[in-house]
Amino acid sequence: MQTHIDLNCDLGESFGPWKMGNDAGVIPFVSSINIACGFHAGDSRTMQQTLILAKLHGMRGLAIGAHTGLPDLRGFGRRELALDAQDLYCDTLYQLGALAALAKAAGLTIRHIKPHGALYHMLEQQPKLAHSFVSAAKDFSPTLQIYGLAQGKLLSCAAGLGMPVKHEIFADRRYLPNGGLVPRGQPGAVIEDANIAAAQVMQVLQHGKLTALDGAELALAADTVCIHGDRADAAEFAAALHTQLCASGVRIGAGT
Amino acid sequence: MQTHIDLNCDLGESFGPWKMGNDAGVIPFVSSINIACGFHAGDSRTMQQTLILAKLHGMRGLAIGAHTGLPDLRGFGRRELALDAQDLYCDTLYQLGALAALAKAAGLTIRHIKPHGALYHMLEQQPKLAHSFVSAAKDFSPTLQIYGLAQGKLLSCAAGLGMPVKHEIFADRRYLPNGGLVPRGQPGAVIEDANIAAAQVMQVLQHGKLTALDGAELALAADTVCIHGDRADAAEFAAALHTQLCASGVRIGAGT
Amino acid sequence: MQTHIDLNCDLGESFGPWKMGNDAGVIPFVSSINIACGFHAGDSRTMQQTLILAKLHGMRGLAIGAHTGLPDLRGFGRRELALDAQDLYCDTLYQLGALAALAKAAGLTIRHIKPHGALYHMLEQQPKLAHSFVSAAKDFSPTLQIYGLAQGKLLSCAAGLGMPVKHEIFADRRYLPNGGLVPRGQPGAVIEDANIAAAQVMQVLQHGKLTALDGAELALAADTVCIHGDRADAAEFAAALHTQLCASGVRIGAGT
Amino acid sequence: MQTHIDLNCDLGESFGPWKMGNDAGVIPFVSSINIACGFHAGDSRTMQQTLILAKLHGMRGLAIGAHTGLPDLRGFGRRELALDAQDLYCDTLYQLGALAALAKAAGLTIRHIKPHGALYHMLEQQPKLAHSFVSAAKDFSPTLQIYGLAQGKLLSCAAGLGMPVKHEIFADRRYLPNGGLVPRGQPGAVIEDANIAAAQVMQVLQHGKLTALDGAELALAADTVCIHGDRADAAEFAAALHTQLCASGVRIGAGT
């Protein structure tokens, strides 16, 4: 059985006067965080506040990453946009650099990048975009870790370019037989119960597989597990998942 | 007589499908450039293209800076906005970092920062904002040069915080008796004739003074001279100014 | 004693994925609503949803208005912007028209306009802007009612141009001796207790005056009372105020 | 031979400080104009200026329409966005209403709507979006004319909903054998020569057909011909096309 796992969560998704998520409630239970960079959510002040929150929890080795997205606040980066590969390269560096400067001013360093929303899925489907995204990450720093769909095409591209990768599974999302996620809005897409979510994660850690929505078994290995911070019960869910994994003998940590 | 001067120009002010200025025409004649960072003009792709253009001219020691502005594309950063000091701190780091990441990916480094438009004037009038701006620059890099109004309050604040400064005068703008610029839109605000602009610069270099619009004499010392890239005749104006200064025995360079 | 009053509330202040306020909780207790039009808050879909909500409550003669603001989502229209008078004229018509088209498609009509946030205060201080705002409203419809600060300069301008006006007081804000509001962020700016808010309103209705923060008495007459929809307890506050006014013999209604 | 045709052009595509196109140069030669509404280009002030320009040419019966687009200034509405049908409905009404209010204030009326850029093509491919678009137009006004691809699916949907339609061909774009346009960026997509463009239009008017890029013949009937206002030679092209069509006995006019 795999005995270490990273728990990651998307934070800093407020914007201007509008609040989203329960960052302070979730952060004690995760080992890495992905901070929105102003394109699909967040703004410079929210980024700073999230970094300060992260710093308070940094003694545990919390890993900080950029959560980069499509330029679409109103759609929260969840609407596919026919983005040019070169624009994606530039947008990715822009967001990475913006967060890095705010992080440095707070005494912190960015260790990973994770694509958000529709971009996450576009990178699995469009190899040119995946190459642009990874190239931007590499030109930012050749040691920046890429978080992406476990055993997916983005990470395969990243590994091919010599970049460190973290295979990600979702605790609270159900899977299609092809390894993709059941799209939001379809029945069964989201796992509400933290016990079932924990069981899904343990199945991967113990047996290297996961049961898709239709009952098919997917072979999956994971380095990191995503918890969604925009659930109404985000903090409780994170706490419950953290507790159950620890009780099953799994140590939570971002690793190296 | 002062025999060295920096010529700087604001570049990268296009946005998406819209072009502004004649960057390729102006860049041969200046020794430092200020690149818009997406808040008042520019976008990540335009920033990259401007950096690539700068790299082609880099053998001459062209200095690259961030031209940071208010978040107001439609108003081109020329409308005052009652910005909170902490928001300005964060917005400044955000823009600096975004440009820095794109610059690093292009093999370049940012050496200075210059505030744009209404922000330029707000920093002379609001000490709290000036302090936030300089603090952001310092937290980005303690060697980042601050370009600002010659003998103005921003640079006085910057020097007080130990930051290197460059006193800026404007070749093609006329001055008020108090040392400020005649606001755009008022008669006589802009000097159209490159000969007159060169004479204004030479008056500062030779005699340390400049004649204001009303005939008053201002004591002024300058490290850098701003040329506007959005003039219709920007390239010709830059070439003429460059030629006349050289003919008067002045060497153009960004210095150290 | 004045026996009729309008209660108005700002609704539709969500944006994209971000929720704000408790529109459904507040709407039963007010007689007119002001809908954000996408510049400082709201988006086309949120506007439609707010209109549909309003339609469900329309049998009571709920009056629908446009809440127009500065183009600054991140700052929620609360940061002053040095807007050109002609730009304000155009922005006002743009927002009015956008809401009017969505209202017409929902079988509703816009009856009033109210400026939001920093714009509300700018219109009291800058007569040129007030004139632009009222002119836009008049060119939209000469019967559109203008909501503004009771006995303030916007309404004086509006009346001078022949437009119908509604003098507004704030139930939950304290006043300066000059008739302006104590700025948000200053101690005592907001009245938390609905009983005290109701007493402030009743003082105006019964005696035509209101006690400012410093104890001074202001002569004030009101046609409409603003309730803020972004309070945490917005629905409870609205219900309590509604109840107390009715208990004091005041009828709530938008009037003609 | 068909002896009447409408010439339409997209105008008002400037944004803030950035200019695009040569509106004043093109407008004398067209019989209908499509004004950008602030989503992909334009802003409220640019819209007003375009309307004032149109009014100066209104004695000729110039028809004014809304050119509605995707919310993507940077991409100029040319990047497909996975827009929800209900969002499109609301965005369309929002843009229509905004222009209508500015038009009314200028003493003008909107007579048609035309989708812009990527939206134009999405409406041919996604029936749900086409239905939303037409429904918004119909709810705005049941007599609003819909401009769309000649013999395409948008107009077929519009006709099915009882809306008046105008079949559009492009003077300066080449066609695919399936009736779609050769995508921008592909060789031969744009016809540079006004003589060839005029010949393409005359082939449709005289013979009801058009030769695709691969030589195939397409059966096409047209009510209106689009001229692009963002060509470098837009005014000359429009003048040449206008002259040639008139010389061939075709009368230019928006019709009823």
Q: Which residues of A touch D118 (CB under 8 A)?
A: 82
Choose the closest CB to A73 out of C16, C41, C75.
Answer: C16
- Compute CA distances D65 → C101, C140, D29, D33, D37, whole Å: 15, 19, 16, 6, 10
CB contact under 8 A, B81 and C74: no
- pLDDT at residue C108 in the model: 96
Separation between Cα atoms, residue D18 and residue D42, nearest integer Å: 10
pLDDT (average), residues D225-251: 92
Distance from CA of B165 to the nearest CA of C (A): 29
How far apart are the C-alpha atoms of B111 and B172, rounded to whole Å? 24
C87 contacts on D by Cβ (under 8 Å): 44-45
Residue by residue, what is the 3-state secondary structure of A40-84? CCCCHHHHHHHHHHHHHCHHHCCEEEEEECCCCCCCCCCCCECCC
Test A93 with B136 for CB contact under 8 angstroms.
no
Which residues of chain B neighbour C79 with C-beta distances below 8 Å?
Answer: 81-84
Shortest CA gap B180–chain D (Å): 24
Q: Which residues of C touch D140 (CB under 8 A)?
A: 101, 104-105
Question: What is the model's pLDDT at position C59?
Answer: 65
On chain C, the residues whose CB falls within 8 A of the CB of B81 are 72, 75, 79-82
Q: Is-contact D38 D6, C-beta < 8 A?
A: no
Kindly list the distances between the CA atom of residue A55 and the CA atoms of A33, A60, A80, in Å, as whole numbers in the listed order: 11, 10, 33
Interchain proximity A71–D71, CB inside 8 Å: no
Q: Tell me, what's the pLDDT at A180?
A: 86
Which pLDDT belongs to residue B103? 98
Q: What is the mean pLDDT of residues C244-256?
A: 92
Cα A35 from Cα A68, distance rounded (Å):
8
Determine phi and psi for A109, rounding to 5 degrees: -130, 145
Residues in a beta bridge with D35: D11, D66
- Is residue B187 scored above 80 in pLDDT? yes
Helix, coil or strand: residue B149: strand
Residues on chain D touching A75 (C-beta within 8 angstroms): 81
Instruction: Please answer whether residues D225 and D191 qualify as being in contact, where contact means their C-beta atoms are separated by less than 8 angstroms.
Output: no
CA-to-CA dists, residue D216 to B91, D67, D189, D201, D202, angstroms: 56, 31, 15, 16, 17
Chain D residues with beta carbon closer than 8 angstroms to that of A84: 79
Residue numbers in A near B96 (CB within 8 A): 101
**Regions of chain A with pLDDT less than 50:** none
Select from D15, D19, D74 the Cβ nearest to the Cβ of B74.
D15
3-state secondary structure of B148: strand
Residue entry with tokens 């812009």: D116
> Cβ(A237)–Cβ(A22) under 8 Å?
no
- Region D188-193: mean pLDDT is 93
For residue C8, what is the enclosing H or E element?
Answer: strand C4-11
The mean pLDDT value of chain D amounts to: 95
Closest partner residue to B90 (CB to CB) among A44, A95, A104 is A44
Q: How far is C64 from chain B (nearest CA, A)?
A: 29
Give how far the C-alpha of residue D177 lies from the chain's centroid of Cα atoms, to the nearest Å.
Answer: 21
By the 8 A CB rule, do D45 and D106 touch? no
Contacts of C62 (CB under 8 A, 6+ apart): C27, C30, C31, C32, C33, C54, C254
Q: In the complex, which subunits touch D with 3 or more CB pairs below 8 angstroms? A: A, B, C
**Phi and psi of C124, rounded to 5°?**
-80, -25
Query: Which pLDDT band, with edges at 50, 70 and 90, does B20 fall under?
Result: very high
Q: How many CA atoms lie within 13 A of A182 on its CB side?
A: 18
Chain C: give the shortest CA distance to residue D52, in Å: 12
- State which amino acid sits at residue A133: F
Q: List the single best residue of D89, D102, D104, D132 to mutate versus C (max C Cβ within 10 A).
A: D102
> How much is the mean pLDDT over chain C?
95
Dist. CA C35–CA C27, nearest whole Å: 12
Separation CA C196–CA C43 (nearest Å): 34
Residue A162, min C-alpha distance to chain B (Å)? 17
- Do the chains contact at D80 and A79, CB–CB below 8 Å? no
- Give me chain B's average pLDDT, please: 95
| Sequence letter at residue B234 | A
Structure tokens at D28: 């004398």
Closest chain B residue by Cα to residue D44: B74
If you measure CA to CA, which chain B residue comes closest to C78?
A: B82
Span C16-41, pLDDT tens digits: 999 999 999 999 999 999 999 999 99
* C-beta atoms of D104 and C139 within 8 A: yes
Do C74 and B72 lie within an 8 Å CB cutoff?
A: no
Query: Which residues are CB-contacts of B9 (< 8 A; sequence separation ≥ 6)?
Result: B26, B27, B30, B32, B33, B34, B226, B227, B228, B229, B234, B238
Question: CA distances (Å), C214 to each of C174, C180, C207, D2, in order?
Answer: 10, 13, 19, 80
Which range in A220-234, B194-208, D49-63, D220-234 is most confidently predicted, on average pLDDT? B194-208
Query: CA torsion sign, A142 to A145 to A148 to A153?
Result: positive
* Cα nearest neighbour of D18 on chain B: B18
Residue predicted with more confidence, D155 or B58? D155
Distances (CA, A) of D62 to D2, D57, D234: 20, 7, 18
Facing residue for C75 by CB, picked from A16, A19, A20: A16
The alpha helices in D5-63, defined as continuous H runs, are: 23-26, 44-56
* Confidence check: pLDDT of D61 > 90: no
In chain A, which residues have their Cβ closer than 8 Å to the Cβ of C39? none
Instruction: Specify the pLDDT at position A113.
Output: 98
CB proximity list for D18: less than 8 A, separation 6 or greater: B14, B15, B18, B19, B20
- pLDDT at site D229: 81
For C105, nearest residue in chain D (alpha carbons): D139
* Contact check, Cβ <8 Å, A81/D82: yes
Give residue A185's pLDDT: 85
Query: What's the rounded Cα separation, in Å, for the pair C12 and C194?
Result: 23
Cβ separation B82–C83 shorter than 8 A: no
Can you tell me the distance from the alpha carbon of D121 to that of C195, in angstroms, rounded to the nearest whole number?
A: 58
A4-252 CATH fold? TIM Barrel (3.20.20)
Q: How many Cβ atoms are within 10 Å of A126's Cβ, its own excluded? A: 18
Distance of residue D41 Cα from the nearest chain B Cα, in angstroms: 9
Nearest CA of chain A to the CA of D206: how many Å? 38
Cβ contacts (< 8 Å) between D16 and chain B: which residues? 73-76
**Per-domain residue ranges for chain D?**
4-252
* Burial of A179: CB neighbours in 10 Å, binned 0-12, 13-18, 19+: middle
What's the length of chain A?
256
Q: What percent of chain D has pLDDT over 90?
A: 91
Using an 8 Å CB-CB cutoff, list chain C residues near B72. Answer: 71, 81
pLDDT of C232 reads 85
Query: Which of B188-197, C56-65, D60-69 is least confident?
Result: C56-65
Residue B218's pLDDT is 93
Query: pLDDT above 70 covers what percent of chain B?
Result: 99
- pLDDT tens for C104-141 read 999 999 999 999 999 999 999 999 999 999 999 999 99
- β-partners of residue A251 are A4
Q: What is the mean pLDDT of residues D181-210?
A: 93
Shortest distance between the Cα of D148 and any Cα of chain C, in A, equals: 22
Q: Do A140 and B91 touch (CB under 8 A)?
A: no
What whole-number distance in Å separates Cα of residue C121 and Cα of residue A44? 27
Split at pLDDT 50, 70, 90, the class of B59 is: low
pLDDT at B180: 86
Closest CA to B211 of B185, B254, B173, B244: B173
Torsion B161-B167-B173-B177 (CA) sign: positive
pLDDT digits (tens, 9 = 90+) for C184-238: 889 999 999 999 999 999 999 999 999 999 999 999 999 999 998 878 888 999 9
Say which of D74, D75, D81 has its CB closest to residue A79. Answer: D81
Contacting chains of C (3 CB pairs or more, <8 Å) are A, B, D
Q: In whole angstroms, what is the distance from residue A223 CA to residue A227 CA?
A: 13
Residue D80 has a CB neighbour count (10 Å cut-off) of 21
D interface test, pick of C102, C108, C109, C141 with most D CB neighbours within 10 Å? C102
Q: Where are the beta strands (DSSP E) in A123-230?
A: 145-149, 165-170, 209-211, 217-219, 224-227
